[in-house]
Structure 1
Amino acid sequence: MTGRPTSRRGLLRAALLGGPALGLPGCAPDGGPHRRLLLATGAPGGPYHAFGRALAGQAALTAPHPRITPLSTAASVDNLRRLTAGSADLAIAMADAAEQALHGGAPFTAPAPVTALARVYVNYIHVLARADGPVRSVADLAGRPVAAGATGSGAQVLAGRLLRAAGLTDRRAVREQRLGLAESVTALRAGTVDALVWAGGVPTPALSALARQLPLRLLSLEKEAEALRAEYGPVYTAVTVPAGVYGLTRPVTTIGVGNYLLARDRVPEREARDVLRVVFHRWRVLLREVTAGARLEPRFAVATGDLPLHPGAVAYYRSVYG
């Protein structure tokens, strides 16, 4: 690949204001077979894994048929490390973890050369407790066992930030257990943890299934959303989980954070562009298993924060905007 990644701000400015065409590096010829792209997803049964399998399947059915192989991983942090090491070409990751990787912030030790293809959907942060239990607010988690995300997941990074924002440190620290979604559900059902922290679409099927077995309480994170946004910027937003989901009798405010489809900066432009063609032609299928009622539009998809867009993504969005 030649040239520098282009920021989505420059793309939007040119597209929306009718400015001159962007000076893009030349795209590789469209002839010839596609190379195989390894896509780092998440654990089997989780939304990233479902999205990755759906993308690979739809790519095989949708011209120009990019070749995508999904990889099972520990999710966001693991995926970003794989991109940096070159053991994956594409990845799905939460926006906050992706920006940490870009800038070399903890848990990463050096800046990572990652670029964005699209912001594909929004994760809703779930802090769930049993409705018949003692936890009624985030403050009630102090000193209690909490399933706080699997090692190597974006949920782990976010849970740490959330707990610090809530003042649950030092003497008031929760007893964090590193559990993935399936293990977290099992632990909450069994009562070995008093709450779980999860970042995913609404509704998350595993949590809907749990809510059919026992009443759940979704904790309000309105104050924590403001604190995280003040400290980390617009990567975090306040969102609402509607009444009826998980048996809720009223809407609950929680924290939203985007999910990015990412690529190594060495992925050829043609490959990146053709992956996005599949994403936007088949987005209803891709999002069906991960979040209800979501739409994917270019103006939404280019909102990738600090992450620069891959040149192949710029070429695709130019073709959409005209």
Structure 2
Amino acid sequence: MTSASVSRRRLLKASVGVAAAPAPAACGQDAEPVRRLRFATGPEGGPYNAFGKALATEVAGSGRRLEIAPVSTAASVDNLRKLAGGSVELALTMADAAQDAVLGREPFARRAAVTALARVYVNYTHLVVRADGPVRSLDDLVGRPVAAGAAGSGVQVVAGRLLRAAGLTGERAVKERRLALSASTEALREGTVDALIWSGGVPTPALSTLAGELPLRFLPLEGQVSALREQYGPVYSSVTLPAGAYGLTKPVGTIGVGNYLTARADVPDRAVRDVLEVVFDRWRVLLRDVTAGARLEPRFAISTGAVPLHPGAVAYYRSVYG
């Protein structure tokens, strides 16, 4: 067990005495108004947006006096800014962007009061090129146009860090194009970029569709993981694109980064517990269209690094899992 795991478990034990205190008996749930939580997700058609819509549906069918209102966004960085600014109460975000927000690191001008509800699944970094094209390694990207994520997205963050870790800066820099996934796949199809970088579940439907239209190559990135971990910590990990995904004949090592379900600290504990009850009860449905084969387990869910758990989340995990 790592020291981070021990610290997180101590936090859970120390916090439960206050966070798990029962609500006054006079306030029955039936008498409470329906609480509406705005949920920053991602662009239409993307995995965050799919998760947000699925959660809204499952909460609506749960009988709880809670409404989830998904909000389409540019994704992680945009979501965190909206969360800090108070225009939403919940947000999905990649772990690296969330850590930057909590620590007040670029692209955030100041520390943001972001709390975590759960680490819900892991993104796989995809560096995709045409199999019949000239790019066979990271070094071959020098000076070439690369779709490197939409502005305000978590993909933009991980893509920039990957390119810097690979030494693709200065005279060796690529020509970064700020494109969302749909525009990225179209650009690779048309040949206006030589590569696209994407961070998402496996398989990502848009990439599966592209792989059915033209031969693709997925470049291995496991060699960059240690440099990223050294500079940014354990938000990055080694993962593997499995054989069979996208027609791959053998596994491809790459970079993994978690996705957090986050909330403003002032969201009521009861609302947070209601959300988590639905998430853990219906996780198979919520993740079905996001990433294949994922599981949601408590020991995985509480691993949110520098991002503190919301008191309502602490109470939930302690009450259910001890």
TM-score with structure 1 setting the length: 0.94
TM-fit CA distance, 1:231: 1.4
Report if aligned partners of 2:15, 2:315 keep a CA contact under 8 Å in 1.
no
Q: Which residue of 1 aligns with 2:201?
A: 201
Q: Distance in 1 between matches of 2:5 and 2:254?
A: 27
Q: Distance in 2 between matches of 1:135 and 1:281?
A: 44
TM-fit CA distance, 1:105: 0.3
Q: Which residue of 2 aligns with 1:23?
A: 17
Q: Distance in 1 between matches of 2:258 and 2:78?
A: 17
Deviations 1:9-62 (A, max 9, x none): 5552477xxx78833244555621331000000000000000000000000011
Q: Which residue of 1 aligns with 2:168?
A: 168
Q: Distance in 2 between matches of 1:99 and 1:68?
A: 25
Q: Distance in 2 between matches of 1:189 and 1:105?
A: 35
Q: Which residue of 2 aligns with 1:295?
A: 295
Report if aligned partners of 1:215, 1:247 keep a CA contact under 8 Å in 2.
no
Q: Distance in 2 between matches of 1:70 and 1:168?
A: 37
Report if aligned partners of 2:124, 2:256 keep a CA contact under 8 Å in 1.
yes
Report if aligned partners of 1:8, 1:304 keep a CA contact under 8 Å in 2.
no
Q: Which residue of 2 aligns with 1:34?
A: 34
- The answer to whether the aligner puts 1:99 opposite 2:99 as a matched pair is yes
Report if aligned partners of 1:80, 1:98 keep a CA contact under 8 Å in 2.
yes
Q: Which residue of 1 aligns with 2:177?
A: 177
Structure 2: gaps spanning 5 or more residues: none
Structure 1: gaps spanning 5 or more residues: 1-6
The amino acid that maps onto 1:126 is: H
The amino acid that maps onto 2:48 is: Y
Counterpart secondary structure, 1:159: helix
Report if aligned partners of 2:35, 2:65 keep a CA contact under 8 Å in 1.
no
- The answer to whether the aligner puts 1:229 opposite 2:223 as a matched pair is no
5 Å-filtered alignment, 1:247-258, equals: 247-258=247-258
TM-score with structure 2 setting the length: 0.94
Deviations 1:246-290 (A, max 9, x none): 111111000000000000001011001100001000000000010
Counterpart secondary structure, 2:17: coil
Q: Distance in 2 between matches of 1:258 and 1:21?
A: 24
Q: Distance in 2 between matches of 1:28 and 1:101?
A: 32
Q: Which residue of 1 aligns with 2:270?
A: 270
Q: Which residue of 2 aligns with 1:72?
A: 72
Q: Which residue of 2 aligns with 1:12?
A: 9
Counterpart secondary structure, 2:18: coil
CA shift in 2, pair 1:152/1:14, >3 Å: closer
Deviations 1:280-322 (A, max 9, x none): 0000000001000000011110000111100010111011113
Q: Which residue of 1 aligns with 2:246?
A: 246
Q: Which residue of 2 aligns with 1:4?
A: none
Indicate the larger mover: 24-33 or 259-268: 24-33
Between the two proteins, the alignment pairs up a number of residues equal to 313
TM-fit CA distance, 1:202: 0.4
Q: Which residue of 1 aligns with 2:137?
A: 137
TM-fit CA distance, 1:66: 2.2
CA shift in 2, pair 1:197/1:20, >3 Å: closer
Report if aligned partners of 1:34, 1:271 keep a CA contact under 8 Å in 2.
no
Report if aligned partners of 2:204, 2:290 keep a CA contact under 8 Å in 1.
yes
The amino acid that maps onto 1:47 is: P
Indicate the larger mover: 53-62 or 64-73: 64-73
TM-fit CA distance, 1:238: 0.5
Report if aligned partners of 1:27, 1:269 keep a CA contact under 8 Å in 2.
no
Moved over 6 A (4+): none
Counterpart secondary structure, 1:109: coil
Q: Please give the root-mean-square deviation of Cα atoms over the aligned residues, in Å.
A: 1.6
Indicate the larger mover: 190-199 or 222-231: 222-231
Indicate the larger mover: 100-109 or 222-231: 222-231
